[in-house]
Amino acid sequence: MRTDWDSWGGDVLSKEAKAARVPAPPRRVPAERDLVVERHDGWVGAVVRVEAGTVHLEDRRGKVRAFPLGRGFFVDGVEVELVPAAARQAGPTRTASGSRAVEGLKARVALPSRILVEGVHDAELVEQVWGHDLRVEGVVVEPLHGADDLAGIVAEFAPTSERRLGILLDHLVAGSKESRIAEAVTRGPHGAHVRIVGHPFIDIWQAIKPARLGIPAWPDVPKGEDWKRGTLRRLGMPHESQEDVGRAWQRMRSRVRDWNDLEPALLGRVEELIDFVTANRH
């Protein structure tokens, strides 16, 4: 009867037989920031920092645990060996928005034109991804804190051909309150010097691709319920206070590396506004 070791000449202690029984070592993977890994004990988290041979992982609820680098980690279900990431080369050639980086940048004198966005979270995300471009062009982004008084804000700003106003609104879809407000402004006396664009999302949070946050999709929140807190509740995250909302947003925003992590419905609109308010500079 043929045995398992017959192919090795019948010697189970041969070098060839021993080598066949030793599994291949796991692939070595650099512990880059934001890499999502799973531990053998079930802990799932994103790399937030590496120091002194230790990797710190943050789960989706914001809890951070430290583990020694090495084996015992899984990426996409495959075991890997986490190793320190190599030092980065000086200066990226592309910015977070995908445009070419300008070396030795000195911020230009701000244009009289402005870009207005609905809230602080919107302004933070735009600055994070397009900040380099905005400083190159000398464009200032300011939060509106809501669109209800948009007509009054535009009238006070008094835009002209040399002092344009670009506005980014949340949930700008047909039949929405925001669409009616935008239509009234663009038909007004300053309409020729105002560009109002928007994205279809209820809130800027939804412009972040859910996969980047480790969720299959943004949860559905019934109309009438506070969307941010309702979202956090359905994600199992603290949601009772405004501080909870703020902390959750900062964790979400920290997952955004560049334009690839945002939905196209936002990307094109921001680029359009930057082009509009800088048209007279080029």
Residue 91 has pLDDT above 70, yes or no: no
Q: What is the mean pLDDT of the chain?
A: 83
As a whole number, mean pLDDT of residues 27-53 equals 85
Residue spans of the domains in the chain: they are 6-83, 114-208+256-281
CA distances from 59 to 38, 125, 247, 252 (A): 10, 21, 14, 11
- pLDDT of 126 > 90? The answer is yes
The C-alpha atoms of residue 198 and residue 183 are separated, in whole angstroms, by 12
CATH of 114-208+256-281, one of 1.10.10, 3.40.50, 2.60.200, 3.10.530: 3.40.50
E strands, the chain, are 27-30, 36-39, 44-51, 54-58, 64-68, 70-75, 78-83, 114-117, 140-143, 165-169, 194-198
DSSP state of 183: H
Confidence of residue 241 (pLDDT cuts 50, 70, 90): very high
Residue type, 151: A
Mean pLDDT of 124-131: 92
- Assess whether pLDDT exceeds 50 at residue 252: yes
Residue 6's pLDDT is: 40
Residue with tokens 């920031």: 33
Burial of 257 (C-beta count, 10 Å sphere; 0-12/13-18/19+) = middle
Residue 215 to residue 213: CA distance in whole angstroms:
6
Query: What is the rounded average pLDDT of the residues 129-154?
Result: 88
Indicate the pLDDT class of residue 17, thresholds 50, 70 and 90: very low
The end-to-end CA distance of the chain, in Å, is: 84
Please indicate, yes or no, whether the overall pTM of this predicted structure exceeds 0.85. no
Whether the CB-CB separation of 195 and 272 falls below 8 Å is answered with: yes
Q: What is the mean pLDDT of residues 30-52?
A: 84
CATH 2.30.30 fits 6-83, yes or no: yes
